[in-house]
Structures are given as structure tokens and as C-alpha cells.
Amino acid sequence: METPGNLLYTKEHEWVDIQGLKARIGITHYAQEQLGSITFVELPAAGKKVKQFGPLCSVESVKAATDVYSPVSGTVSAANKVLDASPEKVNASPYGDGWIAEIDMGDPAEKANLMDAAAYAKYVEGLGH
Amino acid sequence: METGNIKKTPLNAVHREFGGRMVEFAGWEMPVQYEAILSEHHHTRKAVSVFDTCHMGEFMFRGDPGKAGLERLVTVPCGNMKPGRCRYGFALNEAGGVIDDLVVYRISGDEWMVVVNAGDIEGDFGHFRGGLASGTDFTNRSEALGKIDLQGPLAPSIIKRLPGAEGAAGLGYYSFGTFDLLGERVIISRTGYTGEAGFEFYIGAGKVERLWRRLLGFSEVRPAGLGARDTLRMEMGYPLYGSDLDRNTTPVEAGLDRFIPFNKDFLGRESLLSQKRDGTKKSLVGLAADSRRSPRHGNGIWLDGREVGKVTSGGFAPSLEKGIALGYVEPAAAKSPGPLIIRGEKAEIEARVAPLPFYKCGSARG
């Protein structure tokens, strides 16, 4: 599924799954498709403080490198260590096994700044290919 | 991008049909990938892939290479090759700088084919024409000919099942023959740019689509794009003209002088001999990172707190799961037993000088 309905999205093509004050984040199907085969994920360190839309970490593909921005403010509580040896999981399962980090949220009201699935799908359509 | 001037190979529409993601490369619209660069790379090393290389250039020479001046324009000993053999070499300028790297095929007693890169076919042709005696029979057949590379350990088994081309399975490395395929005389050489067993087909442009489809008719064969072509050649340490070789680099600096017979005369010979005698100011080395981070073209290479060189080709080696690079460094740094630091855009990448090829399990010579 290209744009799961239960997630929220950013203009920089990150998704976030918010349960209470815990947020799990990754990059969208569109992002991994644009990047191509991902070769390296620089995971964020636990304890790192992030701001909404501020830099979280970075991802390299065969042809490019890109920054991943955090959809929410807070503190990184976990990173998906599996991606150290198998970054291609981000391509194969961007919303599942390819999740990147978990964040303890500082401000739940920030949800209002994110797009829902319908808005994100429309946004991506407008970008063309 | 000026799409109006971009060149297309005869396979352009077919690439789109097969889901190729098209990009601009050296003035040509080419597929960078179909499914994914990594899967195309691995499929080539484990099975067999086809690559569209129609954008490369082919020049035909007929006559006496010594008298006409062809011999002096390339490092390859044209007159001293047997028909049916091909050899890798260079066209150099007076200073020994590389105008292009190329392969020369001896077709018969008085006929040779020179195969050059896609980057500056017109410039190369002008260089040759300018150095040859007037009236020499030397033509640019690049547009008339299409080219396909079939590469991978299963390539010989595919060619055995291609009616008309079966005999090519018996070709030795860097040998070629002319075969009747699809109603055409087709040159097939046991050569390639991937380190795997394989063949290069030179066929009339009007028939190249039929050959492409015929080869993809075998279930083992998949299409591969320029992205995989680049990861495959980089793992072998093969230079890419325009990145690792240009008019300001010599084959001696690039560590490729083993391909040059110095007992024959050629333009640039004296400059190369001076370099072999006096040493060079830079040497091309292979660098293997200790992580998955990719060095990139232009990254600085540092040793003991000083920049000692720059990356000319960098990226990820899918078969090694590490970053790799080719770059020119001060000759002393090339001998460093300790790590060098490649300054990537985001982080420093620790790397060590690695003997080439990085990937040592290729099937090409097998």
C-alpha cells in the first residue's frame, strides 16, 4: 500500500505512526522509489533531541544521499538497528520492517502540522514523476 | 536539460516498454535502471543480464595501419595482432594524456574496427581523421551499428542456444568472430566491462531491437541499466573515461601502462617513458572503505592531516557491501599501509588502499 491511511505525513516524504506520546517514523514509498536502492542508513543516536521538521538522520542510495527530517519534536528513544546490515529493507518495506526511528514526543499538538494520507497522496500526485 | 538535443539509441522505446527509468548520460537518453540497481548488479554476477551500449562509437579502418598512420594514433599494436583478436588501449595526446580509452579489433588482413566511448565520438573521430593520411579509408559507423552487452556467468550457456551464434561460446577472452544472426553479419567478442563472462554484439542498428528481444526471450536474461553497469565496473577497478581518465591523466598515472607495448611508436610514447623513468606526481589507487558509506566523485582524500588526492569514482560495492573509490593521490600515499580518510559530504570515511580488482570472484576469464 503506497499511502497507509493510519499514518501522518510530511512534505519531505517522511511518515509517522503516533501512539499516545510515542512516534515511529520512516520514509514513504514515494521517497524510497525516488532514491533507488538504499545502501546505507545513518541511524540517529538514542537520546538525540530533534525538532519538528529538523534534521533527524541521513540515507544513502547508489546514486544519491538525502537527509531525513523528523515529523515531530522530541527525543530519539530507539533506532532500527537491523538497517545497519540490511538498509535495503527501507526499499522493500518502507512502512514495516524498514522503519527508521522511534521518538518520545514533546508536544502532541504538533500532529496538526502534518498531512493525513489523503492530503499526502494528493501532494505526491501533484509532484509528477 | 536540453531535451531537444539529447540522443536516443534504437532501443529507447523498448526501454520504456520494459520499465526503464531514463536519464541523460553523455548526451544520450539511457536507462539508469529497470527494477533496481542492486538487483540488476547481483543478477549480473549470479546469472546474466543485457545492457544497451548502442551509444558507444565504432570506426572502421581499411588499409595499412603503419603507412596510413593508425598505428601511431593508438597504443594497440594494430599490425601485430591476429585477425579475430581485439585489444584494450588508448589514443593519447603528445603529453601522454588520454583522449579516449578504446578497444581495437582486427577483422582481417587489412581491416580494423576501433571502439570508443560514448562521451565524444565526434571529437575522437576528428582526432583520428586529423592524424591519418589523406585519402585513408576511415569511416564513422557509430550510427549504423547497434551494440548490446550480454554479461554474467550464464552468458556462454545463452549464446550456445542462440541460432547462428553458438560458435561464439568457444571464443577465448578478447577474441571475436563474425556470425550470421538474424540475417545479418554480426561481430561477437568475448569481452565486457563487468568482470563476468560475457559477450559484446555489434549488429546493424535496424536489427538491434530484434536481438534485444531475442536475448530477453531467455528466462535467465534480464535487462540492466547504467547504474548497475557502473557498480559492476567499479568493483573491478575498471576506469571510466571522463571520471578516472581524461586528457590530464596518463596511463602511467592510472596504473594502466601494462596494456601498452612500449616497443612500438605511438603519439605520447616519449611522455609516458619520461614518467616511467622519473616518476609521476599522482597515482590512481583503489580505496576500500571500512563501512557501507559511499565515497563520491570529488571527495578529498586525506592522510596525516593533509589532502593528498581526490576521488574520481566513488560509490557502493554491492558484492562487497562496502563503499569503494578510485582516486588519484600523491604516489607516496598510494603506498600507505595505514588508513586514509575520505572526506564525504556528511562524514569522514576511513578507507585503505586496496589492490584491484576489489571484487575477485568474477567469471570473465573462466
Q: For residue range A24-59, list pLDDT tens digits in order.
A: 999 999 999 999 999 999 999 999 999 999 999 999
Average pLDDT estimate for A82-109:
97
B240 within 8 A of B232, measured Cβ to Cβ: no
Cβ of residue A12 closer than 8 Å to a chain B Cβ = no
Query: Cell digits for B94?
Result: 603528445
Report the top-level CATH class of B57-140. alpha beta
CATH of domain B3-56+143-235: 3.30.1360.120
Nearest alpha carbon to residue B303 among B337, B344, B280, B279: B337
d(CA B32, CA B101): 22
Cα separation, A95 vs A1, in Å, equals: 9
Please state which CATH number belongs to domain B281-354.
2.40.30.110
- Report CB contact under 8 Å: B37, A65: no
Domain layout of chain A by residue ranges: 8-106
Q: What pLDDT score does B3 carry? A: 53
Contacts of residue B32 in chain A, CB cutoff 8 Å? Answer: 63
CA nearest B322: which of B350, B301, B356, B284?
Answer: B350
Chain B: residues touching A (Cβ < 8 Å):
32-33, 36-39, 227, 231, 291-294, 296, 315-316, 318, 323, 345-347
Tell me the pTM. 0.95
Choices 2.115.10.20, 3.40.50.620, 2.40.50.100, 3.40.50.720: CATH for A8-106? 2.40.50.100
Minimal CA–CA distance to A100: which of A35, A16, A39? A16
Tens-digit pLDDT profile for residues B47-93 = 999 999 999 999 999 999 999 999 999 999 999 999 999 999 999 99
Q: In what order do the strands lie in the sheet with B7-8?
A: B7-8, B28-33, B21-25
CA distances from B183 to B52, B188, B206 (A): 20, 15, 11
pLDDT band at B269 (very low <50, low <70, confident <90, very high): very high
Q: Is the pLDDT reported for residue B231 higher than 80?
A: yes
Segments making up each domain of chain B, as ranges: 3-56+143-235, 57-140, 281-354
Q: What is the pLDDT of residues B91-102, one digit of tens each?
A: 999 999 999 999
